[in-house]
Amino acid sequence: MASISQMMDTRSLCWSDEIFDAIGIPRAFQTTIVRAGDCVGTLRDDIAAQTGINGGVMLIAPAVHDTASAAAAVPAQGKDWAYISTGTWCIAGLETEKPIISDESFRLNISNSGGAFDRNLFLKNVMGLWIIQQCKKEWNRQHPELGYAEIMSLAEQAPPFAAFIDPDDELCFNPQNGVEAVRDYLKKTGQSTAAANTIGGVARLVFEGLAFKYRYVLKRLCAVGGRRIERLHLIGGGIQNTLLCQMTANALGVKTFAGPIEATAAGNLLLQAYGSGEIASLEELRGIVANTFTLHEYLPQQQQQWSEAYGQFLNTCGLKE
């Protein structure tokens, strides 16, 4: 949390005296920065009694930001990988040894966040399933029983690449009506709204748009970070949308692994184990995740079609490679 407060020097991993002085905050307010896995005390006896836990239990700091706990639980080895934490919104990232601070990272609005074991999380936000949630809210007015599984099935049956949307467009940020937001975007970009006349059509536009935007964002992260990825890890609740997982593999053209769903909880729990001396390293922690949770593998399909459609996506949405 200190690393995203804008009050910390990301190189020294200490509070920035320069920033404190510039804003006029006394340096005496600077607390000790606690690392994930540090023991910060023991559970109070009265709380232990209320919860039925034995007294004297150590309190271990997790990676407090949920994305950092989730990133710790990415079941990856080596360096040629990236990850996307998926859900209502998504965060695409690389794990690096040090912050990447440059004019280009500033221009592209890429952030450096603190991770467990003093790793740096080179991250960029992408709109997530918030759009489809807002669409579902509208569809449920007339179809109360409509669930996400049926929406996914209808999207799978809809024609591919009928139109294109940029899920990070301002129209998608907080739409009162998600379906109308999709139609408004199609009108704004001179596309036919016919593809948005059915539930499956709208859902497919959203899912394809997300998959293409993942590719767009990860390509920039890799270019600035000097990284080439051969594997993508999807974590979080969004991986329950198996159609979007497959579309993501297709759009990026790399082998994609999905799991675990509850990466934040798993990372939090295993950092408690690390702080208690049960786990010795990040590599061991991730090995436990890989051996505990079922990971689903998605291989890229229809590469030529998806590459051609990606070019159309960029042109239609006014994005430059």
Please tell me whether residue 162 adopts helix, strand or coil conformation: coil
List the beta bridge partners of residue 112.
Answer: 122
| Rounded CA separation 206/164 (Å) | 8
- Asked whether the beta carbons of 221 and 173 are under 8 A apart, the reply is no
Please tell me whether residue 50 adopts helix, strand or coil conformation: helix
Closest of 122, 116, 128 to residue 267, by C-alpha: 116
List the beta bridge partners of residue 124.
Answer: 92
- Asked whether the beta carbons of 232 and 82 are under 8 A apart, the reply is yes
| Rounded CA separation 164/186 (Å) | 8
**Active-site residue, selected from the candidate residues 9, 45, 66, 168:** 66
| Rounded CA separation 200/226 (Å) | 38
Which residues are within 8 A (CB) of 138 and not within 5 positions of it... i.e. 6 or more apart?
Answer: 177, 178, 179, 180
**For 73, left (φ over 0), alpha (ψ -120 to 50), or beta?**
alpha
Cα 146 to its chain centre, rounded Å, is 26
Does 66 participate in catalysis according to the annotation?
Answer: yes
Closest of 131, 72, 120 to residue 98, by C-alpha: 120
List the beta bridge partners of residue 297.
Answer: 257
Assigned token pair, 301: 């399909």
Strands (DSSP E) contained in the chain are 8-9, 14-15, 39-42, 58-60, 81-85, 89-96, 111-114, 120-127, 231-235, 255-258, 296-298
Could you give the residue numbers annotated as active site? 66
